[in-house]
């Protein structure tokens, strides 16, 4: 019998994956698993399912620059993104293609919050 993973657990995996990527520059399944258990009390026994969720989260990542520099985005690319890959500068008030929401979206942040946007919005809605 296969059980569905609750969306809030999936979101937490995506968030921790992003956190590990931001801190380490790469994502190790064991590191994500350790943070989930230590900081959030989420324990995965099926590593294949955890790896699948991590991959889903990473597939939403457009790019990662390992050396910390990026080429200048072309005008055409700038019309499709909201933050300069080189400087992080906000290019538009409304993100033309928010990769978290998968649609045009105005988050109101000066820097892309990534998957943290889902947590921020969920927390705001609860209040």
Query: How would DSSP label each residue in 29-90?
Result: HHHHHHHHHHHH----S-HHHHHHHHHHHHHT-----TTS--PPPPHHHHTT-SB-TTT--B
Domain count, the chain: 2
Both 98 and 55 in one domain: the answer is no
Both 11 and 54 in one domain: the answer is yes
Both 55 and 82 in one domain: the answer is no
Q: Which of 93, 97, 99, 96 has its CA nearest to residue 116?
A: 99
Phi, psi at 103, each rounded to 5°: -170, 170
pTM (predicted TM-score): 0.49
Both 52 and 11 in one domain: the answer is yes
Q: How many CB atoms lie within 10 A of CB 109?
A: 15
Q: Which of 39, 32, 41, 38 has its CA nearest to residue 13?
A: 32
| Two tokens, residue 114 | 């990534």
Is 1 among the domain residues? no
What's the confidence (pLDDT) of residue 111? 76
Both 43 and 16 in one domain: the answer is yes
Domain that holds residue 97: 75-126
What's the confidence (pLDDT) of residue 79? 55
pLDDT averaged over consecutive 10-residue blocks of the chain (127 residues)?
A: 81 88 81 93 89 81 50 50 66 78 82 80 72
CA distance 125 to 127: 6
Torsion 7-23-28-68 (CA) sign: positive
What's the confidence (pLDDT) of residue 126? 63
Both 79 and 47 in one domain: the answer is no
């Amino acid at each position: 019998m296969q059980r569905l993973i609750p969306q809030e657990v999936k979101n937490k995996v995506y968030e921790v994956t992003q956190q590990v990527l931001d801190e380490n520059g790469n994502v190790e399944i064991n590191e994500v698993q350790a943070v989930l258990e230590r900081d959030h009390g989420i324990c995965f026994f099926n590593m294949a399912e955890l790896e699948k969720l991590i991959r889903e989260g990473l597939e939403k990542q457009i790019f990662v620059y390992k050396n910390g520099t990026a080429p200048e985005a072309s005008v055409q690319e700038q019309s499709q993104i909201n933050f300069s890959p080189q400087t992080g500068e906000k290019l538009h008030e409304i993100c033309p293609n928010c990769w978290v929401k998968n649609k045009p979206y105005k988050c109101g942040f000066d820097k892309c919050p990534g998957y943290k946007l889902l947590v921020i919005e969920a927390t705001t809605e609860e209040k």
